[in-house]
Structure 1
Amino acid sequence: MAFTITSSSSSTAISGYCRSTCPSEPKGPQFSSVRLVDRPAAAVSISSDRSRRSAVRPLNAEPKRNDSIVPLASAAVAPELGEKVVEAEDYEALANELVNASPLEIMDKALEKFGGDIAIAFSGAEDVALIEYAKLTGRPFRVFSLDTGRLNPETYRFFDQVEKHYGIHIEYMFPDSVEVQALVRNKGLFSFYEDGHRECCRVRKVRPLRRALKGLRAWITGQRKDQSPGTRSEIPVVQVDPVFEGLDGGAGSLIKWNPMANVEGGDVWNFLRAMNVPVNSLHSQGYVSIGCEPCTRPVLPGQHEREGRWWWEDAKAKECGLHKGNLKNESANGNGAAHANGTTAAADIFESQNLVALSRAGIENLSRLENRKEPWIVVLYAPWCQFCQAMEESYVQLADKLAGSGVKVGKFRADGDQKEFAKQELQLGSFPTILFFPKHSSRPIKYPSEKRDVDSLLAFVNALR
C-alpha cells in the first residue's frame, strides 16, 4: 500500500512509503486552480514488522476464487490507523460546498475523512496530478492501478518512474486469467473491434476494479467534466458511487471523489509542469487520453481527447465501465422509475449461457407451479438501472456456479409494460428484486438483503434449496 509519511525525527526511506518528507507548512503561489493548504507536519511512527501484518486490510477484500490461478493483488503493509468512524453525511450538500474548492482542498478533505479506507485510482495518464496533490496534503495515502495486460510499454515504464519519484508502491489489480483465457479462446484477441469493447473491459478492468473497491469505503478518480462532454459533463466533486459497492456492501457503501471535476485539461498540465513530476512519454506522441494499446491512438489537432479512445464506437458511450454511472441513458435511481424520456433502450444485461431469460408467459407459468422439477432463482430487473448493472457480474457468476447443480437461474425484465404486473404478482418493490421459487411451494421467497455479491446470493440459495 502506498503512503506518504512525514516524520518529526527523520526522513529515512521506508519501503512502501514516501521517501522524502513533505513540507510542514507548504506555501506559495497558486498554480492553475491549486491553493496549498497550511498544515503542520504530522509525526508518524511506522514499523514494518511482520507481526503487524495481521491487522492490515488488503485492498482486494473479495475471497480468492477457487478457479483462479492468478494471485490476488499484493498485500502491502499499512500502518495501524485505527478504525475510522464515518458519520452519515449528505454528500450532495458536501459537493455543493466544495464546488469552488481547489483540487488540493478536495483531496485533503477526502483523505481526512477516510484515512486508510480510501485509495487513488491511477491510470497512468494525468492521474499523477492526484498523487502530487495527495503528497502536498501531508497525509498518508494509497494508490492502486488496473493492469489489464494490454497497456503500452511506455505506460509500464511510467508506472515505475512514478513509484520511484514518490517512493511508493502502487497496488496493482489484475484480471482473472481463467476469464481472459476463455474470452480470447472463444472470440480472439481483437473481438472488441467487431462487437464493442464492453465485454473485454468487463473482464480486464471492471471486475478487477470491483474486487479492489470491495476493500475500500471511498476512492479517488481523475475524472474531469471536459474529458468527455457526452458522459462526464455533470460529474460532482464527491458523490455516493452509483455503480460499485464498498467494504460494508450494499447500495451507498462507497463514496467517489473527483477532485479535478471542475479543472480544465490545460490547467492540469500547467500544474504538472510547475511541479516537475513524471508524465507518460506517450503524451509527447499525440496521445492525450491513454488506455489499453489496441484501443488507444493519438488524436489529431482539433480533435477532442476522448476521440482517441475506442474510435470505432459512438462518442456518447465512451466509458469502459469504470464510470458506467456517467452514461446518459442510465437511470439516476434504483426505484424502478423509467427514463425521463420514457424510453428503455439500454442494452440488455445478465447475459450468460447458464441463465434463462423468462418471458411474461414463462414467469407466470413458473409462479403458478406448486411442484417444480427444480428450484429457481430469478432477478426482476431493468437494464438501465444502475443497481442492476452493479450486480451483473455477481449474478452471472452465481449462474455459472449453479450450472448443473439442479437450481435454475433466470431473469425477467420487469420495467415498462411489465412493471405493474411485477408489482402486483411478483413482489416487485424496487430494481433489482430477487426471488427464489422453491421446489415444493407456489409462493416465491424474496431476497431481503441489499448485499448482492455472489457469496451472499449463494448462501441465500443454499439455505432454501
Structure 2
Amino acid sequence: MALAASSVSNLLHFAVSSDAKAPRIGSVQPLNWPHVLSSGVNYLRRGCRVKPINSQSQRNDLFVPLAVNTLASEVVEKAETVDYDGLAKDFEDASPLEIMDQALEKFGNDIAIAFSGAEDVALIEYARLTGRPFRVFSLDTGRLNSETYQFFDAVEKHYGIHIEYMFPDAVEVQGLVRNKGLFSFYEDGHQECCRVRKVRPLRRALKGLRAWITGQRKDQSPGTRSEIPVVQVDPVFEGLDGGIGSLIKWNPLANVDGKDIWNFLRTMNVPVNSLHSQGYVSIGCEPCTRPVLPWQHEREGRWWWEDSKAKECGLHKGNLKQGDIPQLNGNGNGTPLVNDIFISQNLVNLNRTGIENLSRLVNRKEPWLVVLYAPWCQFCQAMEGSYVELGEKLAGSGVKVGKFRADGEQKEFAKAELQLGSFPTILFFPKHSSKAIKYPSEKRDVDSLLAFVNALR
C-alpha cells in the first residue's frame, strides 16, 4: 500500500536497532481498532515493515527530515485473542531473553522499552540479542543528574539508536514552580511533582503504543512489586485504542534478582550509569535520589523523607493495592498505627501545649534538646538508640532532652512553627533565647549530637 508524502508528513524519528526504523510513539493510529476490555485481549496483530526511501541517517545528523517522499508498507492482519494471565503463567520460568523476544515478535512497531537511565540498560541489551527491531523512550523530567544524561548519550552511541525523550509540559512545570517553588515535594510529598514531570509525559507516550516494556523486578520493592507478572494488561494507562485494557505491559526482569542483572551487565560489557559506583542503586531525579548504605534496601534512596511504604512515583501505580496502604490510627488522621519510639525515663515526652510553651519562653531555666519525630520514619527509628543514649549522658547535666511527635495532626503546626522539614528534625532551645537552633547535620550518632549540644549550651 503506497501512501502520499502528505499522509505521513508528521511521522517523527524514534529509537530502533540499527537495522530497522519504526514510527515514533504516537505518530500513527490505524482506524477501527477494536477496544480490549480484559486480560483476555482481542486485538489485530499488524506485522508491518516500514522503510522510508533514502532514510538511512548517521548518528551525528544535525536534523531529522520532517517528511519522506515515498513510503511503502506491507500490512498483514490477523485477529486473535490472547489470555495474558495464562501467558504470564506460561512464561513464569522463562528467561528475560525469551520474554523479550515474545514481546517484540507479538507487537512489532507498537511496543517500546521504557528506559530510566539505571539498570534498565539490560532491557536494551536483551532486545539487541533478539535480533529484532526495537524502540526505546525515556522520560526527561528536567531534574536528572548530569551523570544520567551522560549515560543516555553513551547508550545511544553504544547501540546506534536514538532514544525518544518525552518532556513534561512547560506550562504545567512553570505553574508548579511559580506557585510552590522548586522543592515543594520535601514539604507535601513527591506525588504532585512526579505527576507533572513523569506521569503525564508517560501517559502521552503510551497513548501511541499497544504495549510497553519495563525493568520492574519483584525484589526492587517488596511492598509494591513482589507480585508483578512477566506480562499483564496494564491496570492504569491506556494504549493507542483508548480505554481500559488497551495497553499490555511486559516485565521481562520480574523474576530476576538484582545481583543477576549486574552479573549480566558486567558479562556483556555494556555502559552503566556512573552513579552506581557512588552508592546509588535505584536512580531517579537528582533532588529525590541519594546513595544507600550497604544494609539498606535500594528503594530507601528514593523519597527518603517520606513515610510511605509504597515507594512508587505513579508510573507503576497499578502495583499499589489496598493492603499496601498503611493502617490509620484511631483518630483517622492518616497517621500509620505503629508503636512509639524514644521511650526512656531520661526523655521528656512533650505534647502540643508543652512544645508551644517551650518555644515561647525567652528565659528558660535550662536549655532543651528536642527531636521532632514520627515513629514510622525509618530514619527516626535508626537514631533511636543514639538519642536514648544521649539522654542518659545528659541526665543531671542541666540540659533537658525531649521528644515531640510531629506527624499526623501536628505536622502542619510543626512545619509552620518548629522548622520541621523532614523527619527527624532536632532542635536546641538555648537558655536565654526564644529562637530554636536546628541541628544541620544528618550525622545522628551520640558524639555528633553531643558536640552540637556542647557548642551551644
> Shorter-normalised TM-score: what interval?
0.5 to 0.7
Give the AA of the match of 1:223: Q
Q: 1:252 to 1:164 in 2, by over 3 A?
A: same
SS in 2 for 1:316: coil
Q: 1:346 to 1:272 in 2, by over 3 A?
A: farther
How far residue 46 of structure 1 moved from its aligned partner, in angstroms, is 4.0
CA distance in 1 between counterparts of 2:66 and 2:116 reads 20
How far residue 244 of structure 1 moved from its aligned partner, in angstroms, is 0.2
In the alignment, which of 211, 214, 236 is matched to residue 243 of structure 1? 236
Is 2:152 the partner of 1:139?
no
Per-residue CA deviations over 1:217-249 (Å, capped at 9, x if unaligned) read: 000000000000000000000000000000000
Structure 2 match to 1:121:
114
In the alignment, which of 316, 319, 323 is matched to residue 326 of structure 1? 319
Mark the runs of 5 or more structure 1 residues left unpaired by the alignment.
8-13, 18-43, 51-72, 332-344, 348-465
Structure 2 match to 1:156:
149
Within-5 A mapping of 1:221-370? 221-329=214-322
Structure 2 match to 1:175:
168
Is 2:224 the partner of 1:211?
no
Within-5 A mapping of 1:3-22? 3-6=16-19
8 Å contact kept, 1:3–1:16 = no
Structure 2 match to 1:88:
81
8 Å contact kept, 2:282–2:301 = yes
8 Å contact kept, 2:107–2:210 = yes
Structure 1 match to 2:407:
none
How far residue 92 of structure 1 moved from its aligned partner, in angstroms, is 0.2
SS in 1 for 2:219: helix
CA distance in 1 between counterparts of 2:152 and 2:77 reads 30
Give the AA of the match of 2:297: H
CA distance in 2 between counterparts of 1:291 and 1:74 reads 33
Structure 2 match to 1:188:
181
CA distance in 1 between counterparts of 2:77 and 2:103 reads 13
Per-residue CA deviations over 1:66-96 (Å, capped at 9, x if unaligned) read: xxxxxxx998999957466562211000000
CA distance in 1 between counterparts of 2:161 and 2:138 reads 13
Aligned length, in residue pairs: 285
How far residue 48 of structure 1 moved from its aligned partner, in angstroms, is 4.9
Give the AA of the match of 2:205: A
CA distance in 2 between counterparts of 1:119 and 1:246 reads 12
CA distance in 1 between counterparts of 2:299 and 2:67 reads 34
8 Å contact kept, 2:50–2:73 = no
Percent of paired sites with the same residue: 78
Is the radius of gyration larger for structure 1 or structure 2?
2
Q: TM-score, normalised by structure 2?
A: 0.58
Q: 1:311 to 1:95 in 2, by over 3 A?
A: same
CA distance in 1 between counterparts of 2:142 and 2:333 reads 29
SS in 2 for 1:145: strand
8 Å contact kept, 1:74–1:172 = no
8 Å contact kept, 2:22–2:50 = no
In the alignment, which of 106, 111, 128 is matched to residue 99 of structure 2? 106
8 Å contact kept, 2:16–2:22 = no
Give the AA of the match of 2:224: T
8 Å contact kept, 1:16–1:76 = no
Q: 1:48 to 1:212 in 2, by over 3 A?
A: farther
Q: 1:6 to 1:246 in 2, by over 3 A?
A: same
8 Å contact kept, 1:295–1:310 = yes
How far residue 316 of structure 1 moved from its aligned partner, in angstroms, is 1.5
CA distance in 2 between counterparts of 1:91 and 1:194 reads 41
Give the AA of the match of 1:184: V
Q: RMSD between aligned alpha carbons?
A: 3.3
How far residue 315 of structure 1 moved from its aligned partner, in angstroms, is 4.5
CA distance in 2 between counterparts of 1:140 and 1:166 reads 12
Structure 2 match to 1:452:
none
Structure 2 match to 1:441:
none
Per-residue CA deviations over 1:169-210 (Å, capped at 9, x if unaligned) read: 001000000000000000000000010000000000000000
CA distance in 2 between counterparts of 1:301 and 1:92 reads 37
CA distance in 2 between counterparts of 1:302 and 1:211 reads 38
8 Å contact kept, 2:194–2:314 = yes
Within-5 A mapping of 1:404-423? none
CA distance in 2 between counterparts of 1:283 and 1:237 reads 26
CA distance in 2 between counterparts of 1:321 and 1:83 reads 36
Q: 1:103 to 1:320 in 2, by over 3 A?
A: same
Q: TM-score, normalised by structure 1?
A: 0.57
8 Å contact kept, 1:329–1:346 = no
Structure 2 match to 1:403:
none
Structure 1 runs of 4+ off > 4 angstroms? 14-17, 73-81, 83-86
CA distance in 2 between counterparts of 1:118 and 1:111 reads 7
How far residue 328 of structure 1 moved from its aligned partner, in angstroms, is 2.3
CA distance in 1 between counterparts of 2:323 and 2:209 reads 25
Q: 1:147 to 1:266 in 2, by over 3 A?
A: same
Structure 2 match to 1:2:
15
Q: 1:300 to 1:315 in 2, by over 3 A?
A: farther
Give the AA of the match of 2:103: A
Q: 1:129 to 1:76 in 2, by over 3 A?
A: farther
